[in-house]
Structure 1
Amino acid sequence: MTESAFRTMTEEEYLRWNGPRDGKWEFVDGFVYAQAGASRPHNRISTNIQRVFLPATDNGSCWTHVSDLKVRVYRDSRPRYYLPDIVVVCDPDSTGDVETAPCLIVEILSASTRAVDESFKASDYRRLGSLQGYLLVDSEARGVEFHRRVGDDWQIEVVEESVDLPCLSVTLRVDDIYRGVEV
């Protein structure tokens, strides 16, 4: 007898499950979703952003993590685990493979991720009390959008030239993001 193609998992099963090693897996409402592999522009954009972020982590008060750190959020009291492209954590007590208090999250958009990153994930990430900013970077055309926490609300900024980012206290220029990237 074979298992159903759409078998759900519990949160505990997901956290213990290693899955096929050639993929990355997010957990939403009991279902596990494979994440698409990254394109060359996606990887270059990620590397370019890290070049700006890394010097700001020299004092050790914040760390950046690239694509393998699970971020847990709750919607309707149900856990979800996402794998953002870049996560900035400024919590000295943060350890392990699951982050619950990120300060800044970066998602690099592609045709396959755009709709989810701009809607469901944006909404879910903004529920995190620790989150000060959510940066969306297009990998298919020059385009950057920043969601900034302002008090209890969120302000969305279309970034034309540069954006001052919280947590790391860095200015990220659009030209630096897209250096060497053909879009």
Structure 2
Amino acid sequence: MTEPAFRTMTEEEYLRWDGPREGKWEFVDGFVYAQAGASRPHNQIASNIQRVLLPATADGRCWSYTSDQKVCVYRDGCSRYYLPDLVVVCDSNLAGDVETTPCLIVEILSASTRAVDESFKASDYRRLDSLQGYLLVDSEARSVEFHRRVGTGTEWQLEVVDTSVDLPCLSVSLSVDDIYRHVGL
């Protein structure tokens, strides 16, 4: 997230608001945050991951979305709307243009997003009952972490991914080599 817009708005205003066309916007605690543009390595990593996810969604039971799919989370009775880099949804509960039941979320880390993705967003995403995994991929060094829900409860297990990770929902394995193919890291 970057700095917030100077004026606050309601959740309803945000959902009706298009915002300037040159940006993407998240909504947190009444503030709208512009999302920083992605670097070339960031985009390459997102494409590489999507290449692995798409064949696993070919039967239409699940969908894999890139960074324009809003995901709604709740904290302290308030809605927050994020735009994860990739979202996998099975048994969708789409409310308008907003997804509320993702089973896998991927965030690609950069200097400007790392702190928020690893803390606030991670905490918020783990509140989603449907979420089975949260993948954090570094765009500046070869480093991958996977947060996996243990059972059906609120316990999460951190996996540092050295070679590959078995992703939930799609029953597909994602290798570190596939993630960083042709990225130069």
TM-score of the two chains, using structure 1 as the length reference? 0.95
CA contact (8 A) 1:61 1:92 kept: no
CA contact (8 A) 1:29 1:78 kept: yes
Q: What is the match of residue 53 of structure 1?
A: 53
Q: What is the match of residue 164 of structure 2?
A: 162
Letter in 2 for 1:158: V
Q: What is the match of residue 72 of structure 2?
A: 72
- For residues 92 and 141 of structure 1, the distance between their equivalents in structure 2, rounded to whole angstroms, comes to 33
Structure showing greater radius of gyration is: 1
Distance 1:73 1:95, change over 3 A: closer
Secondary structure of the residue aligned to 2:15 is helix
- For residues 14 and 105 of structure 1, the distance between their equivalents in structure 2, rounded to whole angstroms, comes to 22
Secondary structure of the residue aligned to 2:55 is helix
RMSD, matched Cα: 1.0
5+ residue gaps in structure 1? none
1:54-112 Cα distance to aligned partner (Å, 9 max, x none): 11011110000000010000110011000000000001553641000001000000000
Moved over 4 A (4+): none
1:97-142 Cα distance to aligned partner (Å, 9 max, x none): 1000001000000000000000000000000000000000000000
- For residues 74 and 37 of structure 2, the distance between their equivalents in structure 1, rounded to whole angstroms, comes to 26
- For residues 97 and 87 of structure 2, the distance between their equivalents in structure 1, rounded to whole angstroms, comes to 12
5+ residue gaps in structure 2? none
Deviation at 1:17, TM superposition (A): 0.5
Q: What is the match of residue 43 of structure 1?
A: 43
- For residues 127 and 118 of structure 1, the distance between their equivalents in structure 2, rounded to whole angstroms, comes to 14
Letter in 2 for 1:167: C
- For residues 57 and 18 of structure 1, the distance between their equivalents in structure 2, rounded to whole angstroms, comes to 29
Which residues of 2 match residues 1-183 of structure 1 at below 5 A? 6-94=6-94, 96-151=96-151, 152=153, 153-183=155-185
Secondary structure of the residue aligned to 1:33 is strand
CA contact (8 A) 2:92 2:102 kept: no
Query: How many residues in Structure 1 have an aligned counterpart in Structure 2?
Result: 179
Percentage of pairs with the same residue: 80
Letter in 1 for 2:180: Y
